[in-house]
Every structure is written in structure tokens, then in C-alpha cells.
Amino acid sequence: MSSIALRRRAQLGLLLGPVSLFLAVFFLGPLAIMIVTSFLAPGLYGGVEWTWYPHNYGRILGFADPMFEDFDPVYIAIFLRSLKIAALTVIATLIVCYPAAFCISRLSERWKNFCLFLITLPFFTSLIVRLFIWVLILRQTGLVNSVLLNTGVIARPLELIYTDGAIILGMVYIFIPFMFMPVYASVEKLDWTLVRASLDLGAGPIRTFLRIILPLTAPGIAGGAVIVFIPALGNFVVPAILGGAKVMMLGNLIEQQFLAARNWPFGSALAMMVMAVMLVLLFVYVIVSGRRGIDAATGR
């Protein structure tokens, strides 16, 4: 090996070494320990017992530890409900972002960049503050209710906050940039000559949309759907603030297991359910969009 090649090797090692070590120890390591913990028995006083114990998953999926409890479908119900809320969030975010992406993609370069800046900016402002504002707007004495009461539209305050709808609204509000960016990327690349050709050849606007525009922008929609669905599923801040005590989601349940119930193995098993959904989604995404999709998503 020539000395130049050796030097490049050394440089590469210097650049990669520290990051690899850091992520191996503090990222992959914790994940591995969490996976192990999810198969261990919970100790009596909040600790962990080092015995094989698949019933953490059993409590969720239907084979609970026969010694201690009967199977309670409440956990699977919370899981399904979280899936439903996450799915509705994806759909709502898409409806909010998709038409706007078309409009912005047709603007001049200057305005385009400004709009993209305006959309990205809130992502970097405090999440908790942005959710807090919706509490002020939606709660019983909040803005919407006081306006409607004062104008006589309603006689009694509406129950807006602490509902599934409030959670979905909060999630849409914080996840807009996540959906907008990938959708916008594919809308901007859309070849409008194909759309014109379709219209010239006699296809109506609806048919053109369904057969040309939608398939061509599908990769962006799929990408946005995945990166909104994953954090929505495990979210615990939004339900904690806008869902009150009434609406339980996977995120709150996990938090409870760690900070209140102190059943870490069960909490880990719940987190693994979130991970499982994430891996399935990513797997499907990779299969559908292929290697090129990964390269497009990870830049280059």
C-alpha cells in the first residue's frame, strides 16, 4: 500500500473513529439494552429481574403471565387507537400541505425560498410553546369558545380540548414541515408537459390528477407519510397537553411505565411496538421506492 493510501486511511479513521464510538456506545448500545430489557421480568419494587419473560409482550398481545393477571385488552386498544390517531394525522397533514405545495412551487425563486423559510422556521421554535398556544385557543374559556359565546352562536362552551380532534390538530400543527418538505420536493420536480399533454389528449382535470399528477408525486407523499406517522405514533407531549387525562396514547402509556408505575420491562416492550411499526413502515418504503428512494431520502 502506498504511503498516500495509508495517509488517507489514517485520516478516514480519525474522522470516523470518534463518531462511530460515540454512536455505538450511546445510541446502538442503549437500543440493545432496551431490547433485552423488554424480555426481562419486572422486579417487585421497580427493578428488573434477569429471567426470560415474554409476558411483557403478552400483556399487550394476548398471552399475559397466567400467574399474575388475566389478559386485559386495554393495551391493544391504546395501541390501535394510537395507530388510528397517527393515520388521521398523516391524512390531515397531507390535505393541509399538498395544495400549498403546488401553489408555492409555481412562485418565483425568491418567493419560493421565502415561503420555504416560513414553513421551516416554526420547526425550530419551542414545541411546547406552540402546543400551549392551542390550549389557549381551544380550552373552555379559550379564544374560540369566548368568541362564539359572545357572538351568541353557542349558549354553552363547546368541548374542544381534551379530545382526539384536539390531539390531531396539535400534531398537524407541529408536523407540517415534516410533510411539506418531501411533498414539495416531488411536486417541484413534476413535469408539467405531461400534465398538458394529458389535458390536450382529452383527459379531464380529475383524470389527469389521478393518472398523472398523483402517481408522479406519490414518492413525496409516501416519504412525508412515513416521517409524520412515526413521531406521531409515539408522541407523548401532544396528548399530555391537549389530550388531558382522557385520551391515552402509546406515548403516555410508555411514560407512565417509566416514571410512575416503574415497570421498565413492560415500558420497553411498548416502545418496541413503536419500533416494530417504524421498521415495518421503513421496510415497506424501501421495498417500494428501492435503492434510489433511500439515496434520495438520505441525500445524494
Where in 70-109 is the site for another protein (CB under 8 A)? Answer: 96-97, 99-100, 102-104
Q: What is the distance between the terminal CA atoms of the chain, rounded to a whole angstrom?
A: 30
Residue from 110, 156, 292, 300 touching another protein (CB under 8 A): that is: 300
192 sits near another protein (criterion: CB under 8 A): no
Between 6 and 66, name the residue whose CB sits nearer to another protein: 6
DSSP H/E element including 51: strand 48-52
58 sits near another protein (criterion: CB under 8 A): no
Alpha helices in the chain (DSSP H): 3-23, 29-37, 55-61, 74-105, 109-120, 127-138, 143-150, 164-189, 192-200, 205-208, 214-233, 237-242, 250-259, 264-297
112 in Cβ contact with 104 (< 8 Å)? yes
Residue from 161, 179, 185, 240 touching another protein (CB under 8 A): that is: 240
Between 71 and 209, name the residue whose CB sits nearer to another protein: 209
How many binding residues for another protein (CB under 8 A)? 81
Stretch that binds another protein, among 50-58, 73-81, 127-135, 154-162 (CB under 8 A): 127-135
Residue from 15, 80, 154, 218 touching another protein (CB under 8 A): that is: 15
Between 68 and 117, name the residue whose CB sits nearer to another protein: 117
Residue from 6, 63, 113, 290 touching another protein (CB under 8 A): that is: 113
117 sits near another protein (criterion: CB under 8 A): yes
Select from 54, 29, 40, 31 the least CA-distant residue to 265. Answer: 40
Crossing angle for the helix pair 74-105 and 264-297, nearest 10 degrees? 20
154 sits near another protein (criterion: CB under 8 A): no
